[in-house]
Amino acid sequence: GDRIAVIDDEGQLTYRELLDAADGIAHRLMTDGMQVGERVVIQLSNTCRFPIVLFATLRAGLVPILALPAHGLSEIKHLAQLGDAKAYISEEIQGAALANNLIANCQGLQQVYLFGEHGNHHSL
């Protein structure tokens, strides 16, 4: 628990902190109606947020579809449609404008989660 699990430019997390954060997000996803086996597109950069969200989806029984931060609307839309994704998780930097387009263009996509405050999308 107290050993360092991940480090990025903004800080570090112990294994306990990583699992606690992942459990919090997993609970949020399930509370918002995500069901075991549903797919989630994750588009995050290489920060502590990535393993938190990855473990959260796995602990909730969801199937992560991993996208690169450089992927744009066409790639994310393709991944979401091909994988029948129900949710998209990203960072505020690339995610806000892209998320609005995804909601408009991907029929099966039901939830969008962005780190930070965003009017019409769930904040993490």
Q: Which stretches of the chain are DSSP H helices?
A: 15-31, 49-59, 73-82, 92-105
Of the CA atoms within 13 Å of residue 3, those in its CB half-sphere come to 1
What CA–CA distance (Å, rounded) separates 41 from 107?
A: 14
| Total Cβ atoms within 10 A of residue 24 | 13
Residue 112: give its domain's CATH number: 3.40.50.980
Helices 92-105 and 73-82 meet at what angle, rounded to 10?
60
- Confidence band for 118, pLDDT divided at 50, 70 and 90: low
What CA–CA distance (Å, rounded) separates 72 from 10?
A: 25
| Total Cβ atoms within 10 A of residue 99 | 25
- Is the pLDDT assigned to residue 50 strictly greater than 70? yes
**Which domain covers residue 24, as residue numbers?**
4-123
Q: What pLDDT does 92 receive?
A: 73
- pLDDT digits over 3-42, tens only? 999 999 999 999 999 999 999 999 999 999 999 999 999 9
Domains contained in the chain, number = 1
- Confidence band for 120, pLDDT divided at 50, 70 and 90: low
Q: What is the pTM of this model?
A: 0.90
